[in-house]
Structure 1
Amino acid sequence: SMSADLEDPFILLHDKKISNIREMLPILEAVAKAGKPLMVIAEDIEGEALATLVVNNMRGIVKVAAAKAPGFGDRRKEMLQDIAILTGGTVISEEVGLSLEGATLDDLGSAKRINLTKENTTIVDGSGESNDIEARVNQIRAQIEETSSDYDREKLQERVAKLAGGVAVIKVGAATEVEMKEKKARVEDALHSTRAAVEEGIVPGGGVALIRALQSIDALTGDNEDQNVGINLLLRAMEGPMRQIVLNAGDEPAVVVDKVKGMSGNEGYNAATGEYGDMLAFGLPDPAKVTRTALQAAASVAGLMITTECMITEVEEDAPAAPAMPDMGGMGGMM
């Protein structure tokens, strides 16, 4: 599996490569006695040390996961210190006179849970003191004010976001596995929509945003008749999402679209209740980014199709007719 979850783990932070397992034996034994999993964050883990950790994990002696420390050079040291403050641990660094052999459980950080994937490590509810975290955030914000480099400012802002931002855990439950997977997919869709909304804001949903957009370019004319045909096709296509929503609800698309065009702002049609009104008040927004990219992608595909000489597609086969009922042999004389 390319992911792992550690519940209530210890967190070992080291600013150098770990290749000699003998350096880690004392702390590994202490963690094993405590009966908790261990998360190792270091510059790298290789050779004998990596092989031994894998074997320990497979045998169930100590559940261990490892990740490379984020960043490079001095920035890596600062980010390790961020993690230490977030988790209530200490960075094991020779620069401050600490070594792996001498590390104890008191030097380790902890968290409620850690989720690892191939690309990301998420620490949930670190055990660091809130006052220490706040002081660290203020320190980084002061550096943001002082720096003249846009790149440095961006990286410092990322560190503030990771320290000051929260992590929410959404638990999805259901009576059956099929239902749970369906619910999980819906939650993931909602999360993606929320992230998109944070990036570019929201617009009224239900196809209303596209109706308002087409009304603002209704008077647009091209340089020639071909362009006018294209503009009219686009204006018609921008009604498509609302028409489909209304059709799915069992109503008449032409009537609803015409009525919504006579409205203004966020006003539209709530297909779930059959009411007209403010879509945002109904709780029916769309992320602006999703609406924009959908329109751009559709225009891109349509443009490609227009310039295509030949397209290959599958021919839909008509479903075969149901076979006729067979003769009931020998029963022809029944009345």
Structure 2
Amino acid sequence: MTIPGVVFQPDVYRGMQRGINQLVDAIGPTLGPRPRIVAIERIAQRGKSPELLDSGGLIARRIVELPGRTTDVGAMFLRHVLWQVHQTVGDGTATTAVLFQKIFNEGVRYVTAGGNAMVLRRHLETGLQVILDELDRMAISLSGAEKLAQMAESVCYDAPMAATLGEIFDLIGEHGRLEIRDGRSREVEREFVDGSYWESGALDKKAISQNVDLTVRMVMPFIFISDLPLDAPQKILDDLTTAKKAGAPNALLIGSTISDDVAGMLHQINAGSKGFQVIAAKTPGKTPTEQAAALADIALLTGGQPYLKDAGNALGTVKAEDFGQARRIWVDKNHLGIVRGQGNPAQVRDHINKLRRAVDRATDARARKALQLRVGRLLGGTAVLWVGAPTESEITMRKALAQRTADTLRGAIRQGMVPGGGAALLACRPAVAKTLAQSHTTDERQARQILLSALEAPLRTIVRNAGFEDSVVIGRLNHNHRGFGFDVNSGVVANMAQAGIWDSTATVKTAVHSAVTGAALALTTDAFVLHRKRAQAGEP
């Protein structure tokens, strides 16, 4: 057991290598179309079958501590890098892991032999830009259900799922909304929902209980958009009268809560009116920030004016022009749906474009997903992927795979695709070799040599995982043209494009960037400060 205090070289490198190598040895087998499965013991549910995973990101997340303090630091450093990749692009964690391991181990060997870690880091990062530029040059755009399905299958290796996701993304595009749910059978099915919907639901469950499907539907309603509590019967009656005088055939009230008096009044209105009906729905969003964003989006979509508690707005003061409108709405126990809002189309388009730019700029994965969801809702229409399997654990595993594939497809639609199976990285070697020939110092030459060796690592790992000899395959590929790789399913050298084997450009670039910058940073770590009480890693 390491004594609390400060640890210096060479113990820092030794500990980091042990942790990094152990983590990569657990993740590397998942790379490629013939991956091995990693079984994770369920700590909180002993006695249940282990969790079976083939996702590098999830495997890294499940490993929260390794024996040995310095070993654990190395593992947790890489774990954080891999989880960031997982959250950013969904796929590519196994590629990142093997690249990181190769760069770090080769770098340690050079630095311990007398090399300068800081200079080596600088040359690794300049070499990285050469690789990224080369990947951009070989990228081609992705469109059409067939190409999308090929791209999807290169990620999930599940033909039915890939074909369905190809159809879905051909319709919804990069920013469209996709929900992945537990299947209703053992197969993969898809469904398209018209309009936009939010996690909300009826404030008064009795209002929907009279319908067989527990859903209230309205045509051309006026919509009161607010985060106010619906607790003043007379004031709400005044606002409904305003809407009715303006020609509203129905009304939707959105608010934070509803009082018993207001709920009773709405029951009386619905029971006593032959045409005019009213339904109250909960303000969407769990936090004030989410609620403000949802109300702003609904207001733009429907052309209404949001009434906000923080702005001092009040019930009983609503003007006819403040109501939003839509062709149809529906409300059930947990959702509020709006179909064809009557807002200004130009303003809606401008708002969507602003949100898209915000998605591209976002660096926080959760913020990016929240913005992506807002764009998807405003575009209208949601695709639902129903994922089935024989057992509950298989459904969970297959849903995670579907989400990872969907995230990869979004990146591929945005940045294009490159030859898969490690072929794109192998095709970057001539550009790096050219800079090697132009290098002037030992540190620069060594950095280029490390990158040349690392660019082979993903393909070598894929080949070994499939049971082939990697050195033999690399030797054969060295005599073939750019874009050729090894199709492990057929066991032959092939043109990856013609074989329909692709990788997302965004995924490959993110993997390379994270591996090079992460490993270079780790190489310049000279000391650990260890505390007396070790904190177990939680969220990466």
Residue correspondence of structure 1 range 136-147 to structure 2 within 5 A: 136-137=344-345, 139-140=346-347
Residues 161 and 301 from structure 1, CA distance in 2 versus in 1: closer, same or farther, beyond 3 angstroms?
Answer: closer
**Which runs of 5 or more residues in structure 2 are unaligned?**
1-197, 202-213, 238-250, 264-278, 285-290, 308-316, 359-373, 531-540
Which of 429, 439, 462 is equivalent to 1:214? 429
Identity %: 22
1:308 CA drift (Å)? 2.4
The C-alpha deviation readout for 1:210-247, integer Å capped at 9, x for no partner, is: 01112222121333112211210111011000000000
CA contact (8 A) 1:246 1:252 kept: yes
CA contact (8 A) 2:300 2:347 kept: no
CA contact (8 A) 2:484 2:494 kept: yes
SS at match of 2:414: helix
In structure 2, how many angstroms separate the alpha carbons of the residues matched to 1:164 and 1:274?
A: 44
Which of 249, 252, 262 is equivalent to 2:479? 262
In structure 1, how many angstroms separate the alpha carbons of the residues matched to 2:432 and 2:334?
A: 48
Residue correspondence of structure 1 range 110-149 to structure 2 within 5 A: 110-111=329-330, 126-128=338-340, 136-137=344-345, 139-140=346-347
Where do 4+ consecutive residues of structure 1 move more than 6 Å? 90-93, 112-116, 156-161
Amino acid at match of 1:171: W
In structure 1, how many angstroms separate the alpha carbons of the residues matched to 2:326 and 2:399?
A: 38
In structure 1, how many angstroms separate the alpha carbons of the residues matched to 2:383 and 2:332?
A: 12
1:298 CA drift (Å)? 1.1
SS at match of 2:497: coil
CA contact (8 A) 1:203 1:287 kept: yes
In structure 1, how many angstroms separate the alpha carbons of the residues matched to 2:458 and 2:495?
A: 18
CA contact (8 A) 1:201 1:288 kept: yes
Residues 263 and 223 from structure 1, CA distance in 2 versus in 1: closer, same or farther, beyond 3 angstroms?
Answer: same
The C-alpha deviation readout for 1:280-314, integer Å capped at 9, x for no partner, is: 3333211111111111111122212322235799x
Match of 2:301 in 1: 83
1:71 CA drift (Å)? 7.4
Establish whether residue 154 from structure 1 lines up as the match of residue 354 from structure 2. yes
Residues 305 and 237 from structure 1, CA distance in 2 versus in 1: closer, same or farther, beyond 3 angstroms?
Answer: same
Establish whether residue 290 from structure 1 lines up as the match of residue 490 from structure 2. no
In structure 1, how many angstroms separate the alpha carbons of the residues matched to 2:501 and 2:333?
A: 34
Residues 152 and 295 from structure 1, CA distance in 2 versus in 1: closer, same or farther, beyond 3 angstroms?
Answer: closer
SS at match of 2:385: coil
Residues 312 and 171 from structure 1, CA distance in 2 versus in 1: closer, same or farther, beyond 3 angstroms?
Answer: farther
In structure 2, how many angstroms separate the alpha carbons of the residues matched to 1:273 and 1:206?
A: 13
Give the paired residue count.
256
Amino acid at match of 2:434: A
CA contact (8 A) 1:256 1:269 kept: yes
1:25 CA drift (Å)? 7.9
Match of 2:173 in 1: none
Q: Structure 1 length as normaliser, TM-score?
A: 0.60
In structure 2, how many angstroms separate the alpha carbons of the residues matched to 1:115 and 1:213?
A: 50
SS at match of 2:461: helix
Higher relative contact order (CA 8 A, sep 6+): 2
Which of 21, 34, 58 is equivalent to 2:231? 21
Establish whether residue 279 from structure 1 lines up as the match of residue 491 from structure 2. no
Match of 1:325 in 2: none
Quote the RMSD (CA, aligned, Å).
4.5
SS at match of 1:169: strand
In structure 1, how many angstroms separate the alpha carbons of the residues matched to 2:379 and 2:426?
A: 40
Residue correspondence of structure 1 range 131-210 to structure 2 within 5 A: 136-137=344-345, 139-140=346-347, 154=354, 162-164=377-379, 166-210=381-425
In structure 2, how many angstroms separate the alpha carbons of the residues matched to 1:190 and 1:115?
A: 27
Establish whether residue 229 from structure 1 lines up as the match of residue 441 from structure 2. no
In structure 2, how many angstroms separate the alpha carbons of the residues matched to 1:289 and 1:157?
A: 17
Residue correspondence of structure 1 range 315-330 to structure 2 within 5 A: none
Which of 293, 297, 316 is equivalent to 1:70? 293
SS at match of 1:127: strand
Match of 2:533 in 1: none
Greater displacement, 301-310 / 90-99: 90-99
CA contact (8 A) 1:203 1:209 kept: yes
Larger Rg: 1
In structure 2, how many angstroms separate the alpha carbons of the residues matched to 1:227 and 1:181?
A: 47
1:4 CA drift (Å)? 5.1
CA contact (8 A) 2:420 2:502 kept: yes
CA contact (8 A) 1:9 1:39 kept: no
Amino acid at match of 1:21: D
CA contact (8 A) 2:477 2:484 kept: yes
